[in-house]
Every structure is written in structure tokens, then in C-alpha cells.
Structure 1
Amino acid sequence: MHLRLIKRCQKCLLTNDLIGLTGMCAQMYLQSFLPKRLVDENMHYFCISRVIWRVFGISSGCVAFVMALERYIALTKPFFYHKHVSDKMIRRSIFLLWAIGAFFTFLPLFGFGIYFDEAKNVCLRYRDATDPTDVAYAYLFFTVGIILCTGIVICNLSVRKVLYRSHHKMRRQFRSIQPTPMLDRSMIRSSSQKSASFADSSIFRMVGEPTTEEIRFAKLMTFLSISFLACWLPQMVCIILTQQLRPEVKARFNWFFRLSDILILLHFMLDPYIYVLLRQSGRSDLRTMIRYVFSRNQFNIVETAMAPIQKTTNSSPLP
């Protein structure tokens, strides 16, 4: 079921980003190469389409949040995850968040927020609002963006924290087991390789250093958090700068405004790579982590290795 949920999120993310990128690029080329008179006559429709493409930007964050929350629940509450989280629930969650994001994004088309200046016949961004109602919408969009950023970062860092704690917990558990001289170390190693959940590591490797899967997954979680913050947070900061700074001071930050737009574009381009291609190598790690960290099967390694001793000493290898 977990693999099916991941594929569902991946398809949603890829489809969302593909439509958004294709639409924005198509509009850019149309406005660049169509006759200027034709563009000016239809500028209002071009501004409406810009609002529509904006939906796919906020929806990308919504899908990323669902994926981050799914990873968090899978690792922190595995029993709840396997009992309550289903393919149908994931579809409903994605659709619900997408609908909420679309609702907030389309508000300017109904008078709450700014997107078009009829006097100058130009498109305006919500962060450039001056009317109190339009300014309120800019701060509302800022709040939604901050909530998405915070949620994704908290979920991803929580996953890293769980992996870190579980690793140190396993190290303490295995160090508390003291093999007796009667037990051949080679027998422990051979039994461990047959029974271990991680096929490429034995007891002594897991005790001595983090496994490859743990390191890879922890690095992936950190990279996801940093990349999302780097691409989305500047846009949120631009809203505050635009609303709080005076025009003469605001001109000094034009470079930052352009940089934030470039980062959002990079987010659309890198999103499929970060969340899909990198997860191809990490999703088997997640399934293995869930089975190993939260099930008692991890102790089968020790029980198998210590079985001969239990027959003679009648003692348990666990504390």
C-alpha cells in the first residue's frame, strides 16, 4: 500500500508541475511574440491566466505537504498509518488541499485582491497592493505560504529526528548484549546476515556506525527542507518588504525580488527531481526503516544467534 501511495503523490506532483510550467512558458512566449496591439487588447485575459497558473504554484506546496506528512506518520505512528492511512485518504487529502489553495488563489478574480490595473492596462502582483482590502489578501497569501513552509519543514525534520533517535536506541540495546566466550563470533555473524532486516549490514556494523539507509534517508530529509525553504521563503519575505518599505527604499531590493522569482522557477523545475527521482532510492529505505525500527522482528537476529546459549544457560539475551 505504501508504494501505491507514493506513486499517487508522485503523479500528482509531476502533473501539477508540468501543467504549471507549460502554461507559464506558453503565456510568456505568446506575450513576447504576438503583435503588441493584440497583446494590449487581451491584456485582461492574460492577467487572468497568470492567476490560474499561480494555482499550480500553491498546489505544488500542498502536494509536497501531503508527502511530508505521509512520511512523518509512517515513521512516527506506524500502527496508525497501516490501519487508517489509505490510498483513498491520500487522494482526498490532496484534492482538499488543492481546492483550498485554488480558493485562496482565485479570490482576486472576485474582488478580494489585486491582479489587474485597468487604468494602465497592466498585470499587477498581489504583493504590490495598496488598497486595504488588497493588502489584506497579500497578508492572507503570506500566511498560507508560511503555514505550508512550516509544515513541510517540521515534518521532514521530525523524520530525521526519529531516525536519529531510533539509531541511538538500537545502539544502546545491542551494546547491552554481552556475548559469552562459548559463542563463536562467526556463528553470530552468519546468523545475523540471514535474519537481518537490512540485507547489507550485520549486527556489528549496525552497532558500530549508522547504516547506509539511515544516512541516505536523513540526508534526503535535510535536503528537502533546505530546498523548499530556499525557494519559497524569499517569496514570502518579498510580500513583507513590498508592503512595509517606502518606494525609494524598495528600489534597493529589486535584485532580491528578481532572485525570489528565479528561485520559484527553479522550484518548479527541481520539484520532480527532488521528490521523485531521489525518492526512487529512498522509498525502499523507508519501508525497511518502518519494519526494522517499529517491529520486534529486529530482535530475531539476537534470538537466532543466542539460541544455543539459551538451551544451556536458560537466560534471555534481552535486558
Structure 2
Amino acid sequence: MWANGSSPGPCFRPMNITLEERRLIASPWFAASFCTVGLASNLLALSVLAGARQSGGVSARSSFLTFLCGLVLTDFLGLLITGAIVVAQHAALFDWQAVDPSCRLCHFMGVVMVFFGLCPLLLGVTMASERYVGITRPFSRPRVTSLHRAWATVALVWVVALGLGLLPLLGLGHYTVQYPGSWCFLTLGTEPGDVAFGLLFALLGSLSVGLSFFLNTVSVATLCRVYHDREAAQQRPRDCEVEMMVQLVGIMVVASVCWMPLLVFIAQTLLQTPPVMSPSGQLVRATEHQLLIFLRVATWNQILDPWVYILFRRAVLRRLQPRVSTRPRALSLRPSLAQDVLREP
């Protein structure tokens, strides 16, 4: 495919790969199984989240569940859209240049890849910020957080990620078909626009992971300090606050393990001297292999995210460790009004 070294369109670049090589790399059964497991996992998480929301609870947990619902819904749609394109390409092994000469499908998939890649990272730092304020500054946040306000925050994250994904269509960088010719993503080229967009994507994702780590570390440290402070027993966190932090830390760990290798690889490749991409637009085969491997690792984030919530719930943890259910119910970080009244002379 494009073995002659020519670049027939704006989203096509030279890629020396035969049909037999594509058959060995692009397995429709693996891609279909991967997508099926991911979609089923996210559907299960959505059903569990729906049940948790109906049970009610404190406003902080309701906001957290709304953010979680936005995260799981994003992962589900990302797997559904990208999986449909990749599975179809692997099954038919069509020539992208013949099927999409105008590059509309490639541009669409590039936007989708960037959008659904950034959204989990941005939602992770949003949830970390909400929990940081709720734990370290409990009196500076409203007692009741509107459901519409929580969904508006999720929508804002979607808008930011979509805006970044549309930048190549506005002239900053461009999307190209990637090895082995079954998906489109940002270009690891030497043009200023490609370098700027790639570094922006990598730095924004890395910053989100780093900020999540900092905020979650402070929040966990605060919870541990308050939880073990006997003199402030009336300010101990409730089980739901500990549960939310356990889930949030799990989401952060999954995002870090899945996405940081790809983000670091993109930054290193774009800043490498001499450039990895040749003047004709062809990448070294080893670089193409690494990009494909790191991308596949990153897509595991969409499968593992829902299982963090499914497995790290109090109902599941109590079955694994019955002593958890016998522990006296801890109180909130906010002193209750009834306790304040009883302490009045």
C-alpha cells in the first residue's frame, strides 16, 4: 500500500506494507472480541451506576456518580465508534485511499481518537478536583450540588476535548492513516503544525495525569489524617467518602498505566533529532510498530475504567472482607447540625 513512496492525498503518506502483512497484523476477531468485552463492561457499569443513583445519597456522592457516568458513557461511545471503523477495516482489508479519497472518514476518526483519548484524562482531573475541594475545603463548596451543574461540567470537558480534536481541521497539524492502514491519528511529522499539535496533545494529557496524581495524593493524605485523629472523631469521613477516593485512585492508576507510555512516546518522537519521519512522510517501521502497540495499550483504559467502579464498591469489598461491614459507621467531614445543637450549653 503506497509502496511507491507517493502521497496521493492530504491524509495519506507512504507506507510499505503488503496485503499479507496486513492480514497477519489486522485480526478482525481480536478487534471484535476486544470491542465486545469493552462495550459489555461499560454497559454493566452503566447499569450499576443507574441503580446507585436511584438509591440516593449525599450530594457529594451524587456529583461523583454523575462524573463517573459521564466517564463510562464516554468510554462506551469511544469503543463503539472507533471499534466499528477498525473492525470493518480489518474484516474487509479495504484500501483506505480507494474508499476514502477525500479523507473525510480519516479526519472523522482522527477527531474521534483525540476526543475519546483526552476525555477520560480530563474527566479524571475534574473528579480529582471535585474531591479535593470536598475533602480539604468542605465548607467552601455548596452543600447541594445541582445535577444539572455536574452534567454541565461533563459537557464542558467534552467541548474542550472536541475543540482540541478539531484543530487539525482548522489548520494546526493534520490527521493521517497509520500503520497498518486501519486507523487515523495525529501525524508524527516535522512540520511545525504537526509538532505543535502533537506536543499539545501529549502535554495536556500528561498534565491531566500529573495534576490528578497531586490532587488525589493530598485528598488521600487528608482523609488518612482525619480518619485516625481520635480528637476529631466527629469529623471522620463516611464510608462513601473513602469509597469514592478508592475508586478515583484506581481510575488514576489505570489512566497513568494505559496513557502515559503513548503520551511520552509522542513527545519523544516529535522532539527527536534527527526527525523520525522522512521528508517523503514515511516513518521507520520500528516507530510504526511502537505507535501501534502504545495505542493498543491506551485503549485498555476504556475497558478497565468501568471495572474500577464495579469492583471497588462497598458492596463488593464487604463480601471480600466481612469485617468492613461490622466497622462502626463513621461520620462526615462536615459536623452535623444535630451534634452542634447537643453541644450547646
- The answer for the alignment partner of 1:155 in structure 2 is 215
1:230 to 247, 257, 277: 257
- Where 2:139 maps in the other structure, the secondary structure is helix
Identity of aligned residues (%): 19
Q: Is the 8 A contact 2:110 2:184 kept in 1?
A: no
Where structure 1 has 5 or more consecutive residues not aligned to the other structure, the ranges are: 175-194, 200-211, 305-315
Could you say if the C-alpha distance between residues 296 and 250 of structure 1 is closer, same or farther in structure 2, counting changes exceeding 3 Å? Answer: farther
In structure 2, the residue matched to 1:26 is 84
Aligned counterpart, 2:199: 139
Give me the whole-angstrom Cα distance separating, in 2, the residues matched to 1:9 and 1:198: 21
Q: What's the counterpart of residue 2 of structure 1?
A: 60
* Count of aligned pairs: 264
> Residue in 2 aligned with 1:309?
none
Task: State which of 138, 147, 150 in structure 2 corresponds to 1:90.
Answer: 150
CA distance in 2, matches of 1:94, 1:214: 21
The match for 1:166 is 226
Secondary structure of the corresponding residue to residue 293 of structure 1: coil
Cα distance, 1:250 vs structure 2: 7.0
Aligned partners of 1:196 and 1:80: how far apart in 2?
Answer: 16
Contact residue 114 and residue 124 of structure 1 kept, 8 A? no
Pair 279,62 (structure 1): closer, same or farther in 2 beyond 3 Å? farther
Asked if 1 retains the 8 angstrom alpha-carbon contact of 2:188 and 2:269, the reply is yes
Residue 218 (structure 1) shift: 6.1
Please give the alpha-carbon distance, in whole angstroms, between the structure 2 residues aligned to 1:80 and 1:36. 57
- Counterpart among 295, 302, 306 of residue 272 in structure 1: 306
State the secondary structure of the residue aligned to 2:172.
coil
Structure 1 residues 57 and 252, CA, compared in 2 at 3 Å: closer, same or farther? Answer: closer
1:112 alignment counterpart? 172
Say which of 105, 112, 115 aligns to 1:46.
105
Residues 186, 194 of structure 2: 8 Å contact kept: yes
- What does residue range 282-293 of structure 1 map to in structure 2 within 5 Å? 291-293=331-333
Task: Give distance in 1, aligned partners of 2:270 and 2:151.
Answer: 37
- Please tell me whether the aligned partners of residues 89 and 182 of structure 2 are also in contact (alpha carbons under 8 angstroms): no
Alignment gaps of 5+ in structure 2: 1-58, 278-282, 317-323
Contact 1:13 1:63 in 2 (8 A): yes
Bigger Rg over Cα: 1
Shift of 1:277: 4.9
1:241: how far off?
Answer: 2.0
Q: Which amino acid aligns with 1:48?
A: H
Q: CA deviation at 1:47?
A: 1.0
Aligned to 2:128: 68
Deviations 1:66-118 (A, max 9, x none): 2222222221122223347432322222211211111011111222112037x
How big is each residue's C-alpha offset from its partner over 1:158-196, in whole Å with a ceiling of 9 and x where there is no partner? 2211112113332x567xxxxxxxxxxxxxxxxxxxx99
Distance (Å, rounded) in 1 between the aligned partners of 2:61 and 2:186: 39
Matched, 1:240 2:236: no
CA pair 124-114 structure 1, distance change in 2 beyond 3 A: farther
For residues 151 and 232 of structure 2, the distance between their equivalents in structure 1, rounded to whole angstroms, comes to 39
The answer to whether the 8 A contact 1:231-1:266 is kept is yes
The one-letter amino acid paired with 2:84 is A
Deviation at 1:11, TM superposition (A): 2.4
Q: 1:4 to 1:259 in 2, by over 3 A?
A: same
Q: CA deviation at 1:223?
A: 3.2
Could you tell me which residue of structure 2 aligns to residue 310 of structure 1? none
Shift in Å at residue 197 of structure 1? 8.1
1:214 shift after superposition: 8.4
> What TM-score do the two structures reach when normalised by structure 1?
0.68
Contact kept, 8 Å, 1:65 with 1:152, in 2: the verdict is yes
User: Which AA in structure 2 matches 1:144?
Assistant: L
Paired residues of 1:231 and 1:263 also in contact (CA < 8 A): yes
Which residue of structure 2 aligns with residue 208 of structure 1?
Answer: none
Q: Aligned with 2:89: secondary structure? A: helix
Q: Partners of 1:149 and 1:217 in 2: how far apart? A: 18
SS at match of 2:228: helix
Aligned-partner Cα distance in 2 for 1:116–1:255 = 16
CA distance in 2, matches of 1:214, 1:17: 24
Which portions of structure 1, spanning 4 or more consecutive aligned residues, are displaced by more than 4 angstroms?
Answer: 121-124, 195-199, 212-222, 248-256, 279-282, 296-300
CA distance in 1, matches of 2:198, 2:94: 30
How many angstroms apart in 1 are the aligned matches of 2:313 and 2:264?
Answer: 30
> What is the RMSD of the two structures over their aligned residues, measured on CA atoms?
4.0
Shift, 1:126, TM fit: 2.1
